[in-house]
A and B are shown apart, each in its own frame.
Chain A
Amino acid sequence: MSLSNVNFKFNLHVKYFSCSLGILPYHLSSLDGSRMTILFYGLAGLELLSSLDQKLTPNDKNETIKWIYRLQLSSSSIENEIPCGYRGSSCFITSTSDKNELCSNPYDHIHITMTYTALVSLLILGDDLSRVNRQAIISTMKYLQLDNGSFVASVLSSESDLRFIYCACCISYLLDDWSGINTDTCTDYIKNCLTYEGAFGQVPGAEAHGGSTFCAIASLYLMNRLHDVVHDKKQSQLVQWLLNRQSEGFNGGIAKLLPISKKNAGGCFLSDFDGNRQERDIRFSPCDS
């Protein structure tokens, strides 16, 4: 990726991602249950900036891998069916066992986003996933998928929308096993999230948004169902909507401000489409020093 603009403050971005792997200030305590996702952002950011090896020693990487595996939850036997995968942090783990098996705590459960970000983080760190309980994770998706095709993130939470479909598709793709999800109902749900603007909202009826559009397109792409939903005129409408998101960087929706994730989302998937390639003149806004 060549950057046409010299405003990009490379070292500051590296520092930012590196610091996020260390200690976060108290005012970010709302991230307590989702530290796994922050780990992913930090590692992925460093890797994207080709700075991972500069910031993490081999020992750091090994210890981080161990930290991730401590958060894996597996059943001890095939009969003992519980949702398996990864937690976001140790905040509700009360088991003293090292085997990370289910204990009596009914509030210690996995979360689909944490499972996805754990797997990607392991791969970024160079792990071979040999300690991942693949079968259990794939089977778990059946607990989390609803009749309408969408997914809840956890048995403790009832929110269901495109974010968790994306996580489910990523997990299936990373483990190369699609037996855990019903891709037909999943595709139907995504189709129902298409709005009159030609892009995707989080749930059917909701306003089209950059983040949800990214989740929709990426999920369809991973399932190899993109052309079932986005084809011909629908594709050109979507492309135009996406291109209209670009002002300086990419915004999340019409007249909304833009965080980093939506910038990446807007930029990333324009290149998935053949034809109408718009060379991205991505300018990163100057970060606070």
Chain B
Amino acid sequence: MSDSETDPEDSNVNYIPYSQRPEWSDIEPLKQNDGPYSVVRIAYTEKFSETFDYIRACMQKDEMSQRALELTKDACQLNPANYTVWCYRRKLLFHLNSDLNEELIFIGQLIREHQKNYQVWEHRRLIVEKSQIYNNELRFTSDLLRLDSKNYHPWQYRQWLLKTFNLWSTELDFVNNMIIDDIKNNSAWNQRYFVISQTTGFTDDIILKELDYVMNKIRSYPDNESSWNYLRGIARLRTINDDGKIEQFCQQMYDEYQQNECRFLYAYMIELIDLKCQEEGKKQSECNRLIELCEKLALHIDPIRKRYWENIRSRYTDKPLPNHTISASAS
């Protein structure tokens, strides 16, 4: 969706309509034919309508000329979401052997104005793919991520760059800095997983290192779903799981954070106990712990998901949920 903008006709008093340009006098502009009854009409400006009347005429005969290229620039700026015009523009650029460095500057400006538009990012990707001019691209995406660190588009583009041009060497540092800047940035955590899975892979050694990394991050800021999701994600990859490392960590966190109960910790402890009971059978002390945690979540810490926690609890006891729990701070 485009950002709201003032009427472009106000912005440039020097604008000359195409119908008044001598170099376009041979072209019969093609009006849009929406039929006798139309829906979801748009209140086009005259400039918009006219530009697209000329685009239609050029596309109809697939004109490959410099003037058509200039016309697509106007059209793309008026509607950067129009993938067909971008397609036509690319065909023109490649046919005319245009300077693709210049094109990268142009598309860079447009991306800054329309950061969540699919087509502008795709255009950049295709220009870089064709030209193989990629040396500035990581910096370009990190500049955009500085403006909006969770924007899906630069992250997805960045992943393509890393894979296509093998630019992995500095990425883990980059990700680490993003996490330091904002530990709750889930996109950065996802990127961490992506880098490791695409380079070294999650060997047992790497998993151990990553467990230490994420456990430290959790200790520094426990109430963060992203780091817990990362911990849970990599823990599931372990082939060696008998050192009790994760259970000990959870127990430490549970003991240290009695005053400041963390719903992600409790949810994970429930998952671990549930898994253990399925694999090794139910032990009373562990069941009691699970029940207690479910009650704390349902009644006190995470009531919005009360029924979910009730449901899990109900697999371990027939007793109804009590009306209240004794909160940790009172014990």
Residues of A near any B CB (own CB < 8 A): 20-35, 38-39, 42, 63-64, 66-67, 70, 89-94, 96, 104-109, 154, 156-159, 195-198, 201-203, 205-209, 233, 239-241, 243-244, 246-247, 253-256, 275-279, 281
Contacts and interface: CB of A to CB of B under 8 A. Distances in A.
A205 B4 contact: no
A246 B225 CA distance: 13
Given A28-B42, A246-B304, A277-B307, 16 more contacts: A30-B79, A32-B79, A35-B40, A63-B37, A64-B39, A66-B37, A91-B52, A158-B122, A158-B126, A195-B190, A196-B190, A196-B229, A244-B225, A253-B186, A254-B225, A278-B305
A42 B122 CA distance: 28
Interface of B: 1-5, 7, 30, 32-35, 37-45, 48, 52, 56-57, 59-62, 78-84, 87-88, 117-118, 122, 126, 150, 152, 155-156, 159, 184-187, 190, 193-194, 197-198, 225-226, 229-230, 232-234, 236, 267, 275, 304-305, 307-308, 311
Contacts of A28: 1-2, 42
Nearest to A256: B150
25 contacts: A22-B41, A26-B43, A28-B2, A29-B78, A30-B1, A32-B42, A32-B79, A33-B83, A35-B39, A35-B40, A90-B32, A94-B30, A94-B56, A106-B59, A154-B83, A156-B87, A197-B190, A205-B197, A205-B198, A206-B159, A243-B308, A254-B184, A254-B186, A255-B186, A278-B305
A134 B171 CA distance: 48
A134 B35 CA distance: 24
Contact of B79 (A29, A154, A159, A201): A29
A209 B152 contact: yes
Specify which of A108, A203, A244 lies most central, judged by the most chain B CB atoms within 10 Å of its CB: A244
Contact of B82 (A32, A39, A255): A32
A107 B82 contact: no
Contacts of A244: 225, 305
A118 B34 CA distance: 16
A207 B82 CA distance: 26
B250 to A, nearest CB: 16
Main secondary structure of the interface of B (DSSP, over half): helix
Contacts of A63: 37
A107 B56 CA distance: 9
B152 A26 contact: no
Main secondary structure of the interface of A (DSSP, over half): loop
Nearest to A87: B84
Given A24-B41, A34-B81, A206 B155 contact: yes
Nearest to B185: A255
Contact of A92 (B39, B56, B81, B230): B56
B62 A27 contact: no
A105 B186 contact: no
A139 B222 CA distance: 53
B98 to A, nearest CB: 19
Contacts of A159: 118, 122
B40 A24 contact: yes
Nearest to B275: A233
A66 B30 CA distance: 22
B10 to A, nearest CB: 12
Specify which of A106, A197, A202 lies most central, judged by the most chain B CB atoms within 10 Å of its CB: A197
B40 A33 contact: no
Contacts of A239: 308
Question: What 9 pairs between A and B have smallest CB-CB spacing?
Answer: A196-B233, A30-B2, A207-B190, A30-B81, A63-B37, A254-B186, A35-B40, A94-B60, A156-B87
A109 B118 CA distance: 19
A254 B126 CA distance: 30
A106 B91 CA distance: 12
B156 A202 contact: yes
Contacts of A30: 1-2, 79-82, 117
Given A30-B79, A33-B83, A42 B40 contact: yes
A159 B48 CA distance: 26
Specify which of B42, B152, B186, B187 lies most central, judged by the most chain A CB atoms within 10 Å of its CB: B42
Contacts of A89: 34
Contact of B83 (A24, A157, A207, A240): A157
Given A94-B56, A254-B186, A254-B225, A23 B152 contact: no
A207 B155 contact: yes
B190 A105 contact: no
Nearest to B263: A244
B82 A24 contact: no
Contact of A208 (B7, B82, B190): B190
Contacts of B38: 67
A156 B83 contact: yes
A192 B56 CA distance: 40
Contacts of A22: 39-41
A276 B152 CA distance: 30
A24 B1 CA distance: 13
A197 B30 contact: no
A278 B308 contact: yes
A29 B5 CA distance: 10
A105 B88 CA distance: 12
Contacts of A104: 60-61
A232 to B, nearest CB: 10
